[in-house]
Amino acid sequence: MKITQKIKALVEKNPIALATVDGRGNPHVIAVACVKVVGDKLIISDNCLHRTRANILANGKASIAAWNPQWQGVKLSGKAEYHATGKWKAFVKTLPENEGLPAKGAVVFTPRKIS
């Protein structure tokens, strides 16, 4: 799916809601502040994603909601992958927003549906 400049601005400049599902189908949602768009993917820093990380490793299902102060927003549904090593973890470690934070890994989210 094509991530437009408008969507990029929404997710990079505002906190987002990241929803995942555990192996039993129980939903879990958290607020995330450090998100970057790289190509057609959203890269989310793991500074404190214990249950979210477990859910992603269990099944990879995720949705994201993002909106600005005027309540203009977007919902993205797709697949999430967790990277505890490699280029995506290295990427989040270099982000100024993560200075002083653990940046334990990176969630790479690929949208399959945008609405």
Parse the chain into domains and list their residue ranges.
Answer: 5-114
Residue 61: per-residue pLDDT: 96
Supply the DSSP string of 4-59, one letter for each residue: -HHHHHHHHHS-EEEEEE-TTS-EEEEEE--EEEETTEEEEEESS-HHHHHHHHHH
Architecture of the domain defined by 5-114: Roll (2.30)
- In the predicted model, what is the mean pLDDT of the chain? 96
For residue 68, give the 3-state DSSP assignment.
coil
CB 42 within 8 A of CB 109: yes
Q: Which residue has the higher pLDDT, 44 or 2?
A: 44
Residue 50: per-residue pLDDT: 94
Q: Which two tokens mark 79?
A: 């697949």
Q: pLDDT tens digits, residue range 66-77? A: 999 999 999 999
Taking residues 72-100, report their average pLDDT: 97
For residue 111, give the 3-state DSSP assignment.
strand
Residue 60 has pLDDT above 90, yes or no: yes
* Residue 4 banded pLDDT, cuts 50, 70, 90: very high
Residue 30: per-residue pLDDT: 97
Residue 1 has pLDDT above 90, yes or no: no
Percent of the chain whose pLDDT exceeds 90: 97
The residues, ordered by sequence, that sit 6+ positions from 78 with a Cβ below 8 Å of its Cβ are 1, 62, 63, 109, 110, 111, 112, 113
For residue 71, give the 3-state DSSP assignment.
coil
